[in-house]
Amino acid sequence: GASTATGALAATAVSTEMATAAASTASTAATPVAMFSSPARSPATASSRYSRIFAIACSTGGPQALAQILPALPAGFPSPVVIAQHISDGFANGMVDWLSSLCKLPVRLAVEGDLLQAGVIYISPSERHFSITPARRVALLERRALDLYHPSCDVLLSSVADIFGRQAIGITLTGMGRDGAKGIARIREKSGMTLAQDEATSVIYGMNRVAIEAGSVHQVLPVESIAAA
């Protein structure tokens, strides 16, 4: 049906846009993002001790947006960053490698059972849904045949909301469809902070628009200011 086609198109589009994003970021310095600014920690002290977690949902246009936000995070950043980016099977490892080349922080593909650590960026694999357990470990869930989006932004953000409550910061970026809107609403319900990329800087004003129109977003900002609130 049309909805299934939308999900497949979103994942496929993302798989072809990383080269474009890489070209644009090669000559453009990352814009500092104030919300992520915290006292620097030594990378050697990265651990499961942290007071906040950042959860990001994105689809089409997501790589470009992430390439503006993530490289500005300092070494020793005191929180984990977990990301669900719609992407076709087989491309997640390439995205991890590409972001690793841009970022000061380690970028990892989320692995079943990993204990979340401050100062690490975790990317969901495309073949499974990414969620967080009460023990603050990675849980990878099987995709169902009828799942529209992969990996699911709603699965990740909802688990972050339920485990971290007011410690959660949920961010919905550019993307096709409506995935992530339920997760953003859940974070707000649990007293977390919610942000959305604005229409002007979005490649596709879809996922973020749905969350904004639902009244689930505290602040709507251009991508270069997404963390300044």
Residue type, 222: P
Contact present, 87 and 95 (Cβ < 8 Å): yes
DSSP reduced 3-state for 134: coil
Give how far the C-alpha of residue 126 lies from the chain's centroid of Cα atoms, to the nearest Å: 13
Q: Return the structure tokens found at 97.
A: 């490698």
CA–CA dist 221, 65 (Å, integer): 12
Residue by residue, DSSP assigns 60-119 as TTHHHHHHHHGGGSPTT-SS-EEEEE---TT-HHHHHHHHHHH-SS-EEE--TTPBP-TT
Which active-site residues does the annotation give? 59, 86, 179
Residue 69, judged by CB atoms within 10 A of its CB (0-12, 13-18, 19+), counts as buried
% helix, strand, coil for the chain, step of 5: 40, 20, 45
**Any residues with CB less than 8 A from the CB of 80 and at least 6 apart, and which?**
50, 53, 54, 116, 117, 118, 119, 120, 121, 122
